[in-house]
């Protein structure tokens, strides 16, 4: 079991930018909060199961998808 996960400065910046992107795109913080909570849940699981996810090539890193999100491009208001 892992005691804690240490974030790099780039990872922290990316996290904030991703959450802010969804806030700007949708216009409220609900989705950003849900996404952040999902990430926190994933991190809790990773501390218990550090081998979870797909190993990346020969590196000591693993890939774990948080969500599969597919949205249409943003269109002008009033159009579909």
pLDDT single digits (tens) 10-19: 989 999 998 9
Domain-located, residue 14: yes
- With a pLDDT cut of 70, the percent of the chain lying above it is 78
Note the pLDDT of residue 72. Answer: 47
Domain-located, residue 45: yes
Domain limits for position 24: 9-54
- Residue 22, classified by CB atoms within 10 Å of its CB into exposed (0-12), middle (13-18) or buried (19+), is buried
Residue 18 lies in a domain: yes
Total domains in the fold of the chain: 1
Q: Tokens representing 66?
A: 């948080």
Its pTM surpasses 0.75: no
Number of Cβ within 10 Å of residue 62's Cβ equals 13
9 pLDDT exceeds 50? yes
Query: In terms of pLDDT, which residue wins out, 68 or 15?
Result: 15
Going by pLDDT thresholds of 50, 70 and 90, the confidence category of residue 67 is low
């Amino acid at each position: 079991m892992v005691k804690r996960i240490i974030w790099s400065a780039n990872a922290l910046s990316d996290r904030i930018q991703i959450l802010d992107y969804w806030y700007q795109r949708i216009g409220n913080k609900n989705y950003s909060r849900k996404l952040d909570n999902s990430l926190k849940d994933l991190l809790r699981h990773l501390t218990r199961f550090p081998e979870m996810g797909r190993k990346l090539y020969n590196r000591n890193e693993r890939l774990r998808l948080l969500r599969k999100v597919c949205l249409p491009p943003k269109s002008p208001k009033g159009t579909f």
